[in-house]
Amino acid sequence: MASGTGLIYDERMMSYNLLWDFPDCSIEIPERLSASFDKLKQYGLVERCVQLSVREATEEEISLVHSEDYLEAVKSTAFMNVEQLKSFSYKYDAVYFHPNSNHCAKLSLGATLQLVDAVMSDRIRNGMALVRPPGHHSQKSDACGFCIFNNVAIAAEYAKQRYGTKRILIVDWDVHHGQGTQNTFEEDPSVLYFSWHRYEHQQFWPNLKDSDYSAIGKGSGTGFTINMPWNKVGMGNADYLAAFFSILLPMAYEFNPELILVSAGFDSAIGDPEGEMCATPECFAHLTQLLMPLANGKLCFVLEGGYNLRSLSESLCMTVRALLGNPAPPLIGQMQPCLSAVETIQNVRAMHQPYWKFLKYHEAHIIKDPSTKKLNFAIEEHNFESVEATDPEKNMTMPSMEKEDFDVFMDSHMKNILVLAPSERTAWAGDEIKSAKLNQCLKVEAKEISMEEVSILISGGDTAQLENKSLLLSLGCIFPLIDKISKREVQNGIVVVPTLSSSAIAARYGITIGASRVLLLVVGEADIPTDIKADEKILVVYICRKHDTMGVNNYFIPICWKEDNECDGDLLYATFELILPLAYSHRPELVILAVGGNTGIEALALAHLTQLLQLFAEGQILVISQASDLVETLTSSLLGDTLPAVGSLVLNQENVLMLMKLKQELKQHWKLVQNSVY
Ligand code: X5A
Ligand code: ZN
């Protein structure tokens, strides 16, 4: 298994700058690279990465996407004076040339290809290329938007040709639409292009109709271009997460890429003068961590935009930290997408419904004109209030903020969220089990637990279950693990127990020793005591194949599958549609995942779930497993190993409809669950 995170940085890419007064381009400065690298050094991240060297891309490589004439034209700029550079630049939209531009553009592309080579040949698992000029706006025969050669688009072609990569996902989280990349692959079903971007109903640069949700690719590439236009500024963490859960992640799982390229622009982060969005730096750790279970961990990040040096560098460091396997700091603040974001999500899903299995049973309506949206809807049938009431004022505090104020804000924000990760990753307790993976973990001694100790954790003094010897033995393993996790001596833990009835007591115990909120996810049969179902500190999601209807409330959410189906696809669907949004809203400080023996769910699907649950509580999770044959796979996931893809992702209509009904019941209380306006 490939390990290590590559980092590419080379000062030579700072050797071009704007030589005349040209406000459109004044923000693309060399310091963007040095500020990012300095911050990486400051956080001690540089020495944790594998440094990769830069090379110049060859003409043949550039020609994978660009025309001969354009290549020659760019070459000629190396010998131009300022007047000539000026008039050459003005032939294009929002780009400037310098005598070193050609050289730097070749280094920028070369750096990107070096990263792809290192990842595809398994020398490293993932990596980040700090490059300039950026690439995603550049076209076959045009420079555009600070971009000269399209680094990421060429990298995708390169991977296809050199490594025979059959499916590549490009995630373009830069705040601008990467129209150059989109155009390159619009007819190519082997490259799935996802971009979100500030759009404001075409009022924002580059003002293209083709950046709207209706542009979905052409010919055999239809359905493989996904555009998410943001029609308001001020989009924040909840909006970005909702986009990932509702669109990108289920698509990505279905597409099953062999390689992911990220057009990593950080102008989508808070404080950026171009984007005017509100996502905080740690949001990018979450977005990164959400992509890491895919493509066997093969992720190449390539810098695009990002013009607030502080925001750029902090967000970039968060991304690199996630790539290195550090758990993301919890997201703070209200988790509710705004109405405009929900409208965009709904439109994208409606547009893509014919092309994606996970949208097959989805009710699709396009909101044609959001400003007069009520005319397009039967308001009697759809309740808008719930969304509208939650539409937070998209205020513009950031753009008007002075640099000093912003730095003060960032200083205190970063101080609040950054904590030291435990030195040990995974602990286990219990009887000896044959598992090579457990040998890599810390063994924790079980302790003796008395009935008295446990009885206070049990509701209504119902101590009858304590007569069960094995329950006390199980808790004797579970409590020390939770202790170690909460003291941050280890990040996570795993234990095998004979029944899952210990899991509710474990959740209670987590609260008594200091967690404000616990997420308890049970997969399989277990008795959930009634008072836990109503406890607002403990969010219980109970996934089983029972037929009986259980009462739903905001803190007890039963997901009951139809008995006789394979559920792997349904589980993943439920994870993105419901479980992750719920968990982000609850903001647990401890996660407990209890897995039964005979769940009908493949170990690999459970491993993916385990990986995704490490997004919360800084990765503090305890896995309680009833089956010893799951231990190897689940421990591997806790250790942060890369995972193979989940096999079949078939969705069962009845299960999907059941989930939709649940969402309706829960969206009022858990706002992040809402991803359509009805
Ligand atoms: C790479 C990038 C932005 C160009 C903006 C022109 N380009 N107004 O962020
Ligand atoms: Zn940008």
What is the C-alpha separation between 464 and 434, in angstroms, rounded? 33
DSSP-derived secondary structure for 12-63:
GGGS----S--GGGTT--THHHHHHHHHHHHTT-TTTSEEE---PPPHHHHT
**CA-closest residue to ligand 1 atom 6:** 145
Mean pLDDT of 346-375: 84
- Give the three-state DSSP class for 616: coil
User: How far is ligand 2, taken at its centre, from the CA of residue 304, in Å?
Assistant: 6
Q: How far is CA 605 from CA 241, 486, 573, 608, in A?
A: 21, 27, 11, 5
Tens digit of pLDDT for each residue in 14-61? 999 999 999 999 999 999 999 999 999 999 999 999 999 999 999 999
Mean pLDDT of 218-238: 98
Pick 419 or 220 by higher pLDDT.
220
Whether a cis peptide bond, with omega within 30° of 0, leads into 133 is yes
Mean pLDDT of 344-373: 88
**Catalytic residue (choose from 66, 137, 177, 197):** 137
**Ligand 1 lined by 255 (C-beta under 6 Å):** no
Tens digit of pLDDT for each residue in 369-388? 765 344 333 333 223 333 33
Quick one: which ligand is closest to 134's CA?
1
**Ligand 1 lined by 275 (C-beta under 6 Å):** no
Q: Are 311 and 271 in contact (CB under 8 A)?
A: yes
Q: What is the pTM of this model?
A: 0.95
**Ligand 1 lined by 174 (C-beta under 6 Å):** yes
Please name the amino acid found at residue 578: L
User: How far is ligand 1, taken at its centre, from the CA of residue 136, in Å?
Assistant: 9
Mean pLDDT of 583-598: 96
Least confident of 68-77, 414-423, 609-618: 414-423
Going along 216-274, which residue ranges are E strands? 225-230, 259-264
Q: At residue 111, does pLDDT exceed 70?
A: yes
Pick 545 or 294 by higher pLDDT.
294
**Ligand 1 lined by 145 (C-beta under 6 Å):** yes
Q: Quickly state the pLDDT bin for 519 (edges 50, 70, 90).
A: very high
User: Whole-angstrom distance between the N-terminal and C-terminal Cα of the chain?
Assistant: 45
Percent of the chain with pLDDT over 70: 93
**CA-closest residue to ligand 1 atom 5:** 145
Q: At residue 564, does pLDDT exceed 60?
A: yes
**Ligand 1 lined by 186 (C-beta under 6 Å):** no
What pLDDT score does 464 carry?
A: 66
What pLDDT score does 400 carry?
A: 55
**Ligand 1 lined by 61 (C-beta under 6 Å):** no
What pLDDT score does 378 carry?
A: 31
Q: Quickly state the pLDDT bin for 641 (edges 50, 70, 90).
A: very high
Mean pLDDT of 448-465: 77
Give the atom of ligand 1 at the shortest distance from the alpha carbon of 305: 9
What pLDDT score does 398 carry?
A: 47
Tokens of 471: 């329950």
Q: How far is CA 468 from CA 77, 431, 498, in A?
A: 81, 18, 11
| CATH code at 424-647 | 3.40.800.20
Quick one: which ligand is closest to 198's CA?
2
What pLDDT score does 124 carry?
A: 98
User: How far is ligand 1, taken at its centre, from the CA of residue 138, in Å?
Assistant: 11
Please calculate the CA angle 525-463-487 and round it to the nearest 5 degrees.
75
Least confident of 456-470, 559-573, 599-613: 456-470
Beta bridge partners of 192: 169
User: How far is ligand 2, taken at its centre, from the CA of residue 306, in Å?
Assistant: 6
Pick 444 or 459 by higher pLDDT.
444
Q: Quickly state the pLDDT bin for 549 (edges 50, 70, 90).
A: low
**Ligand 1 lined by 535 (C-beta under 6 Å):** no
Pick 125 or 402 by higher pLDDT.
125
What pLDDT score does 526 carry?
A: 86
Tens digit of pLDDT for each residue in 91-101? 999 999 999 99
Give the atom of ligand 1 at the shortest distance from the alpha carbon of 265: 9
Pinpoint the residues of the chain covered by CATH 3.40.800.20: 7-26+35-367+412-417, 424-647
The strands making up 590-595's β-sheet, listed across from edge to edge, are 442-443, 424-429, 490-496, 621-625, 590-595, 518-523, 538-544, 556-560
Q: Are 473 and 454 in contact (CB under 8 A)?
A: no
What pLDDT score does 334 carry?
A: 83
Mean pLDDT of 502-513: 95
Q: At residue 393, does pLDDT exceed 70?
A: no
Q: At residue 164, does pLDDT exceed 80?
A: yes
User: How far is ligand 1, taken at its centre, from the CA of residue 177, in Å?
Assistant: 9
Burial 368-402 (b: 16+ CB within 10 A, else e): eebeeeeeeeeeeeeeeeebeebebebeeebeeee
Q: At residue 397, does pLDDT exceed 70?
A: no
What pLDDT score does 543 carry?
A: 94
Q: Is-catalytic flag, 382?
A: no
Residue to substitute in 25, 176, 208 for testing ligand 1 pocket (most ligand atoms within 8 angstroms of CB): 176
Tokens of 632: 């190897």
CATH architecture of 7-26+35-367+412-417: 3-Layer(aba) Sandwich (3.40)
Q: At residue 248, does pLDDT exceed 80?
A: yes
Pick 109 or 599 by higher pLDDT.
109
Q: At residue 192, does pLDDT exceed 90?
A: yes
Pick 158 or 534 by higher pLDDT.
158
What pLDDT score does 444 carry?
A: 97
Q: Is the dihedral of CA 357, 363, 368, 371 positive or negative?
A: negative
**Ligand 1 lined by 258 (C-beta under 6 Å):** no
**Ligand 1 lined by 177 (C-beta under 6 Å):** no
Quick one: which ligand is closest to 175's CA?
2
What is the overall mean pLDDT for the chain?
Answer: 92
Residue to substitute in 24, 95, 137, 152 for testing ligand 1 pocket (most ligand atoms within 8 angstroms of CB): 137
**Ligand 1 lined by 307 (C-beta under 6 Å):** no
What pLDDT score does 460 carry?
A: 60
User: How far is ligand 2, taken at its centre, from the CA of residue 516, in Å?
Assistant: 39
Least confident of 105-109, 169-173, 383-387, 572-576: 383-387
Q: Which of 110, 109, 156 is nearest to 295 (CA)?
A: 156
**CA-closest residue to ligand 1 atom 1:** 305
Q: At residue 528, does pLDDT exceed 90?
A: no
Q: Are 477 and 495 in contact (CB under 8 A)?
A: yes
